[in-house]
Amino acid sequence: MTERAFETRDAAQELHDLLASAAPIGRLRWLHPEELPALVLGGQQLGSVVRLLGALQRGDLRLPQVAALLRAHADPHTLRAWLLRLLAQWEGSRTPGQWVFGALGLLGDGALAAELAKKLYLWRGASKYAWVRMGMGAIATIGSDAALRQLNLLAAQDEFRSLRSSAGEHMDRIAAARGVSRQQLEDMIVPRFGVDTGELQLALGARRFRLVLDPDLAPALVEQDGRHYRAMPRSAPGLPPEQIAAAQEAWRTLRREVNHEIRTQSRRLESAMVEGRRWAAGDWRRIFLGHPLLEPLARQVLWAGYDDAGQPIEVFCLAGDGSLTSESYGPAMLDAYAAVGIPHPVDATPARRRQWDELQHDFDILPLFPQAARTIYTISAAQASETSIPGLPEGKLRAGVSISTASKGWRHSAYQTYDAFSQIVMTRSFAGPGITAVVVCQICPEQHYESSQRCSEGYFVAGGVPDLESGVLPRRIPMGQVPPALISEVLCDWHDLFRNPRHHYEG
C-alpha cells in the first residue's frame, strides 16, 4: 500500500471519529440521504452520511476539520456528484437552503463552481434571486483560482446586470482581503493548464499526451515519444470505442477551455493598453515571463518602459528566446524601468508608430490586436475645455443597429421615451482610470413605419455607470481631463459602427 493510500485510510478513520458524536440530520421531506451518491475515501464508502449532513446543517464546530479531510482525501468526482445531488434534491423543495449552499462552498471545488455558474443563469432567468445570491456566495466561498475565474466570467457577462454587479463586488471584496487590486487578482488566477509542468495529461489507453501551445497559440498534444498532434488520435488498436470517444471528448473540452482563456487574456491585454495600466518591472517579470499562457501572448504585443514620472523611456518587444529588444534594436534593460505597460498609438507620433511597425515586422510579431496600425482619433487644443465628446459620427442608422456590446464593452444602460422620439443610452466603463463613457442615441420615427437613430451626444463621467433615470444629471468631465486613449477608443467604436452597420445589426 502506498503512502498516499495509508494517509487516505487514516483520514477516513479520522473523519469517522469526528462524525461519531455528531447528531444525525433530522427528517426533511425533500432530503433522501439514501439516494445520494456514495462518498468514497481510499476505496471505502463513508458510512456516517446522515451525521455529515447533520453537521453541515447545524454548522458544527468540527466542520473545518471535516471539510479539510474531505477536500484532501475524498474522490473529487464522487464528492462533486454528492454535492450536486444534494442541491438537486433541495431545488425541488420550497424551504430555506442556506446550509445547502454553505455545504457547496465548504466542500466544493473549481469544477463545482463551473456547474453552479451555469445554474445561476437559469435561476436568474427564472427570477430566483435568493438562489442566485446564495449560489454566488458559494462560488466565492470555494475561493480557488478556478472558482474565482467563474466569478470573473460572471462579472464580464452582458446578459444580466445584477449577476455582473454581484460577481464584481465579490471579486473586489476578495481582492481587498488579499491585499491586492482587482486587476492584480485577475493576474494571479490565470490558469497554467499544466503546460509548463506536464502535470495535466490526457490518456488514450496506455498512451499519454501532454498539452503544449504551438507558436500560433493553438493547443496541441505531445506524446511520450515526442510525436506532435493537433488533435487526439481517432483510433487505438484494442481499445473499446467508448474509451476512444471519452478521450476525444476530454481533448475537445480542454482545447475549448484553452482557446477561451486565450481570448479572455487577449481582451485583458487590449484593455490594459486602452486604460493605461502599468506593472512594476518586477511584477511584470514574475507574471509574464515563464507563464505558459501569458508569455506567448506577451510576445505578440509591443511593450514600453516608463520612468518615475510616467513618461515612456522606450518601446520593446519580447522575443521567443525570452530576450527583450528595444525599438533601437539594443537590449531592453527591464530593471531600469519604474513601470511597464502597453503603449497606445494615440500617445506616439506618426514617425514613432512607423518604428513600431518595423519592429513588429523584423521580429515576426503577429499583433494580438491592432496596435501600431490602430485607427486613432484626437481632439484639438480648443476642444479640451468641452464637456461633450467632439467628432461623434453624424448621419442616421436604421433602428436595430447597435454597437457590439460583447466585443467592445458597450452596454444598454437606459431607455427613455418622449412624445416625438425615444433615446437609448449606451455606456462603456473603463475600470482602470475610473471613467465611464456615455453616448445617447436618439430614435426617430420615419416614413413607412421605419425608424432611424443617430448619436445625439456623448460625454464622460467619473466612476461607474451613472443612474440616468434618477433625474440627477451627472457631472461631465472636460475632454482635457480624459486620457486621449479613451477619447480615441470611443470615437473609433462609433465611427466603425457607422461605417459597417451590417456587422452590428440586431433587428
User: Contact at 8 Å (CB) between 245 and 232?
Assistant: no
Confidence of residue 406 (pLDDT cuts 50, 70, 90): very low
Confidence of residue 13 (pLDDT cuts 50, 70, 90): confident
The answer on pLDDT for 503 being more than 70 is no
Instruction: Decide the pairing of beta strands 397-398 and 411-417.
Output: unpaired
**pLDDT score of 454:** 81
Alpha carbons 105 and 103: distance in angstroms, whole number: 5
Instruction: Decide the pairing of beta strands 312-318 and 324-326.
Output: antiparallel
Q: Read out DSSP for 35-58?
A: GSPPPEETTEE-S-HHHHHHHHHH
Q: What is the 3 state secondary structure string of 349-399?
A: CHHHHHHHHHHHHHCCCCCCCCCCCCCCCCCCHHHCCCCCCCCCCCCCEEC
Distances (CA, A) of 460 to 388, 391, 428, 430, 438: 8, 14, 10, 10, 6
pLDDT tens column, 161-183: 888 889 999 999 999 999 999 99
| All residues at 6 or more sequence positions from 117 whose CB lies less than 8 Å from its CB, including other chains | 139, 150, 153, 154
Confidence of residue 257 (pLDDT cuts 50, 70, 90): very high
What percent of the chain is modeled with pLDDT above 70? 91
- Measured between its terminal Cα atoms, the distance across the chain in Å is 65
Confidence of residue 391 (pLDDT cuts 50, 70, 90): very high
**pLDDT score of 396:** 74
Alpha carbons 123 and 131: distance in angstroms, whole number: 7
pLDDT tens column, 69-127: 999 999 999 999 999 999 999 998 889 889 999 999 999 999 999 999 999 999 999 99
Domain at 386-497: CATH architecture: 2-Layer Sandwich (3.30)
Residue 429: CB atoms within 10 A of its CB come to 19
Average pLDDT, the chain: 89
Say whether 185 sits in a helix, a strand or coil.
helix
* Domain spans of the chain, in order of start: 6-189, 386-497
Distance of CA 504 to the CA centre of its chain: 24
For the segment 37-66, the average pLDDT, to the nearest whole number, is 89
The dihedrals phi and psi of 321, each to the nearest 5 degrees, come to: -90, 5
Alpha carbons 383 and 390: distance in angstroms, whole number: 7
Nearest to 377 by CA among 497, 499, 490, 501: 490
Stronger pLDDT, 341 or 456, i.e. the higher one: 341
The answer on pLDDT for 206 being more than 90 is no
Residue 142: is it exposed, middle or buried by C-beta count within 10 angstroms (0-12/13-18/19+)? Answer: buried
